[in-house]
A and B are shown apart, each in its own frame.
Chain A
Amino acid sequence: MSISQVPAANGRRRSALWGGRAQEITMLLPALALIAIFLLLPFLSSFRIALTNERLIPRPVPPRFVGLGNFQQILTDHDFWRALWNVVRFTLMVLPVQCGFALAIALLLNQKLPFRNFFRGLFFLPAITSMVVVCVIWATLFQYPTGPFNQIVGFLSFGLVQPIDWLGDPSWSMPAIVLLSAWQAYGFQMIVYLAGLQGISESLYEAAELDGANRWQRFWHVTMPSLRQTHIFVLIITTIQAFKLFTQVNILTQGGPRGTTDTLVHYMFTAGFVDQRLGLASAVAILLFFIVLIVSLVQRFVVRDRQ
C-alpha cells in the first residue's frame, strides 16, 4: 500500500465502516426484536400489572388500580419474609455443598484416569435428568420410616438413631432439599470447574514441584488462585439459581412442613396460579428481581479484582 492511496482508502474505509455498522445493526434486529417481545415487554407489563388487583382469569369485576397496595401487602406478610429467609438459608447451605462437591469431582475427573470420558459423562448424568424425575426418586429414598436413607442411618448407628422423617420434620426438611438439589445440579458447576482446571498451565505445577511443594500446597497455591475467575462465575450463577428454588419444593413438600421450605418463587407461584392473584404475583416477581440483582451486585463488589 503506497502513501498516495491513503486518503481515498480512508474515504472508502469510512463508508465501508458505516456500511458494516448498518449491517451489524440489521443483523442484530431479529434477536433484539425477540428479546424485546419476549423479555422486555413482559417485564414492563408485569410492572403495570403489579399496580392493579388483576386476576389470572378475567372476571366480571374489572381490575382496579391499587397503587403500591400489593407491595405493602407482601412486605407486611410474615410468610413472605419467611420465604425470603428460607431462600437465604437454602443458598447458604447449598453453595458450599454443591460447589465443593462439583470441585472435588472435577479434580478427580481431571486426573489421567482410564475411561476418563466415560466417567465425565456418568457424573454429568444427574444434571441432564429432569428435576421432576429426580424428585420422585428421592421421595422414595427419603421415605419415612422404611426408606433407604433411614435404613442406612439405622444400620450405621446399629439401630440407635430413630428413623428421620426427612421431609416431614421442620428441622430436616430444608437440609433434605439441599442434599437433593446439590446432587441434581452439581454437574453444571463440575463442567465449569473442569474447563477452568484445563486452563491452568502445566508449567505452573512443574515449577511448584521443583520448589518442593507437596500435593496439598500445589492445590492451595496453584489450583485455587488460578481458578479465581471460575469461582466467581460459579458463585454468582449458583446463587442466582438457588434464589429461584421452586421445582423440588413444589413436588416434595409444597412449602411445608410449617412453611420451612416455602421459597420466594413458590410463594409467587401460589399467589399467581393457585390464588389467581396476578397483580400480587407480579409484585412478588418484581421484588424477586431486585433481590437477586442486589445480591449479585454485592457479590460482584465483594469478589471484584483489586488489581
Chain B
Amino acid sequence: MKMQLGNRLLTVLRATTILGVGLAGLSAAEAASLKLMFQGDPYEVKIITETAKKFEVANPGTTVELINTPHDAYNEKVGAAVSAGALPDIMELDAPFLANYVWSGFLQPIAPYIDKALLDDMTASNISQGTYPVDKQLYATALVDSTVALYGSRKQLTELGIRIPTSVDDAWTKEEFLGALDKLAAAGVKWPIDLFRAYGTKTEWITYAYEPILVSMGCDVIDRTSWKATGTLDGATCVEAAKLLQGLVQKGWVVPQSAGGNQFYAEGRPAGLAWGGHWFYAEAKAQMGDDVVVMPLPKFGEKSASPNGTWIYAITKTASDPALAGKFLSFMLQDPEYRAAYAEHAGFPGIKSFAAASPLYAPGGAMAVAFEQASKSAVPRPPHPAYPTITLAFQQAMNNIFDGADAQEELSKAAKKIDADIEDNEGYAPFGQAN
C-alpha cells in the first residue's frame, strides 16, 4: 500500500517535471519579456500601458510586463525586490536616489543601449539628473524634468506696485521677496505665501523645494566635495536660511500644513504667492486663467538656484536583455502620443525637441521663465549614496524648524545623523576620497 502510493507519487512528480521543463523550453524559445517597474499619475499609467502595447505590436514575440507601484511606498518596494532577487529589467526611480542605487550595484550605464539621437536631445539638467558622479556615466533618462517657480496674480501684484520679474537674471533679491510679502500682508492678504507645507514629509518636497534657498545663500545640506554635513548644514549660513523661513511662518505669513494645497486659487485667494512645482501651473491656470503669472525663484544670495530632478528610467544590472530594454526606452521616449500625453499635463521638458514642441515652455510661453531655470540655475540634490538619509534628516529638521524648534539645534542634529550614516557605511567608498 505504502509502496504503491510512493510509486504513484514518483510517477506524478516525474510527469510534472518533464512537463515543466518542456514548458520552460517553449517559453524561452518563443518570447522575450521585459519587466518594467514604475509609478505615476493615472494619465501616466494609461499612456505607458498604451505605449507598451504598441511596442509589443511593433516587435512580435516581445512582451512588456508592467509593475505599477505606489508612489509613497516605492523605495520600500525596491528594497523588497532586491532582497528577493526580483528586480525588473527597467525601473523608474526618483532622480536623487540614483547615486544610492548605482553605488549599491543595481543599475548599469544606459548610453550603449539608447538611440544616439535621443541622448543628444537631452537637456543639460536631464543629463545631470541621470549621471553618476563617480564614473560620469549616464545611468538613466526620461522625457521630463521638473522645477519650482513662484506664482502670483498679475492683477494683485500690479495693484500693489510689486515688480514682476521676467527672467532668471532679474529675479527678485531676498529684500525684494521679503518686501513683496510685507506689502501683501499689509494689503490684508491672509497668507502672503504658500510654501506647500501640505505635501508633508512623506514626499521629497522639503529637500526638493527648499534646498535651493540654502544653495542660493551659499551653503548646502552637505559639502559636495568632502561629503560631510557637519560644518555645512549646521553652519551659520544654513542656520540663517532656516531662520529666515521660520520667521515667515512665525509671522503667520505661510499657509499652514493642514490648510491644503489650493489656497492660492481657492475662493477669495487666501494665499498671495505660491512656491509651487511646475505641475502647479495647470491647476492654478484652470482656476485663475491668464491672471496667473510665473516668476523665477528669488535670488537669496550671490547666485540663483532652483530645483531639478524627477522620476527617470534606468536599466538594472540584472536585466536579461539590456539591448531590448534600451530599445523599449528609446521607443517610448520618442513616441509622439507618449509625448502628447505629457505635453497635455504641462510636463516639464527634459528633451530639447520636446521643449520645442511645448508652446507653454517655449520663449514667450507662460512657463518660459521656469524652463529658463533648468539651464541657468538648476542644482541637483546631492548625488551621493547617503541621499535617503540626507533627505530624511533634513526634512525632519526643517519641518521642526517651521513648527518653531531651534534652528541651530535641529540642523546640528540632522548633520550628525547624516555623518553617522556615512561613517556607518565606511564612507560609501569611492565617495569622499579626493576625486
Q: Which residues of A contact B (CB under 8 A)?
A: 53, 56-61, 139, 142-145, 165-168, 170, 254-259, 270, 273-276
Q: A58-B82, A166-B258, A270-B392 are in contact. List 19 more A-B contacts (CB 8 A).
A: A53-B424, A57-B82, A59-B103, A60-B103, A60-B105, A61-B425, A144-B258, A145-B259, A167-B258, A255-B201, A256-B257, A257-B399, A259-B400, A273-B76, A274-B75, A274-B392, A275-B389, A275-B421, A276-B79
Give 9 pairs: A residue, B residue, CB < 8 Å, sorted on A: A57-B78, A57-B82, A168-B403, A254-B202, A256-B400, A256-B403, A258-B404, A273-B75, A274-B392
Report the bound CA distance from A258 to B104 in whole Å. 33
* B-chain residues with CB within 8 Å of residue A57 when the two chains form the complex: 78-79, 82-83, 104
B260 within 8 A of A: yes
Find B257's partner among A167, A274, A276 (CB 8 Å cutoff): A167
Whether A144 and B259, one on each chain, are in contact in the complex, defined by CB atoms closer than 8 angstroms, is yes
Interface string of B189-202 (1 = CB under 8 A from A): 00000000000111
Query: Closest CB-CB distance, B180 to chain A, in whole Å?
Result: 23
B122 to chain A, nearest CB (A): 28
Closest to B267 in A: A146
> Main secondary structure on chain B at its contact with chain A?
helix
How many A-B residue contacts, CB cutoff 8 Å? 74
Contacts of B389 in A (CB 8 A): 275-276
B binding-site residues for A, Cβ under 8 Å: 75-76, 78-79, 82-83, 103-105, 200-202, 256-260, 388-389, 392, 399-400, 403-405, 421, 424-426, 428
Can you name the residue of chain A whose Cβ is closest to the Cβ of B401?
A258
Indicate the member of A56, A143, A167 with the most B CB atoms within 10 Å.
Answer: A56
> Is the contact region of chain A dominated by helix, strand, or loop, or is it mixed?
loop
Q: Is the CB of A258 within 8 A of B259?
A: no
Contact A258 B400 (CB under 8 A): yes
List chain B residues, Cβ under 8 A from A168: 256-258, 403
A237 to chain B, nearest CB (A): 29
A144-B256 in contact (CB<8A): yes
CB contacts (< 8 Å) of A259 on chain B: these are 400
In the complex, what residue of chain B is closest to A269 when comparing beta carbons? Answer: B76
Beyond A256-B201, A276-B388, whether A59 also contacts B425 by CB under 8 A is: yes
B258 touches A165 (CB 8 A): yes
B263 to A: closest C-beta gap in Å: 10
Taken together as a complex, chains A and B put the C-alpha atoms of A58 and B421 apart, in Å, by 15
- Bound Cα distance from A212 to B104, whole angstroms: 78
Which A residues lie within 8 Å of B404 (CB)? 170, 258
| B residues near A56, Cβ cutoff 8 Å | 76, 79, 83
